[in-house]
Each structure stands twice: as structure tokens, then as C-alpha cells.
């Protein structure tokens, strides 16, 4: 049985970016699921675009 994407890209998300779900403006399936080459063992790859909060953007410019 092939797994299907359930339209919620953050179901099962275990990352540490608490802001990511609320600041994602676009998400789509990509990889084997998108190309129809998936098998029952295939994972579901999601690619998307988000706008990080200001605190994250400012952190990117801090010196190490």
C-alpha cells in the first residue's frame, strides 16, 4: 500500500523550529511521491517556503 500525503505538511514534525508551522506560506510534495516513482517503503518529502521571525533573521547576522 502506498502512503498518501494528508495535506498537513507538519503532521509528525519533530523539529525544533516552533515558529515553522505558523510561518509557512507554501508547501508541496516533492521527490518520489511527486514523480510517481514511490514504493510502499518510500517516505514523503515536503518542500516549502517560510518567512522566519525577526529574531531568527537577526541571529543569522551575529558574529560567531
What's the total number of domains in the chain?
Answer: 1
pLDDT interval class at 1 (50, 70, 90): very low
Q: How confident is the model at residue 4, as a pLDDT?
A: 61
More confident call, 36 vs 63: 36
Residue 26 · residue 44 · CB < 8 Å: no
Best CA proximity match to 5, nearest among 46, 49, 50: 46
* Strand-pair partners of 27: 48
What pLDDT, in 10s, does the model give residues 8-57? 888 878 888 889 999 999 988 888 888 889 888 888 888 999 998 888 87
64 pLDDT higher than 60: no
- The domain in which residue 36 lies consists of 1-64
Please, how many CA atoms are within 13 Å of residue 31, restricted to the half-sphere of its CB? 12
Amino acid at each position: 500500500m502506498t502512503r498518501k500525503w494528508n495535506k498537513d505538511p507538519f503532521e509528525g514534525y519533530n523539529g525544533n523550529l516552533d515558529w515553522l508551522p505558523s510561518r509557512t506560506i507554501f508547501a508541496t510534495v516533492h521527490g518520489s511521491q511527486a514523480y510517481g516513482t514511490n514504493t510502499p517503503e518510500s517516505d514523503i518529502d515536503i518542500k516549502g517556503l517560510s518567512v522566519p521571525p525577526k529574531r531568527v533573521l537577526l541571529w543569522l547576522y551575529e558574529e560567531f
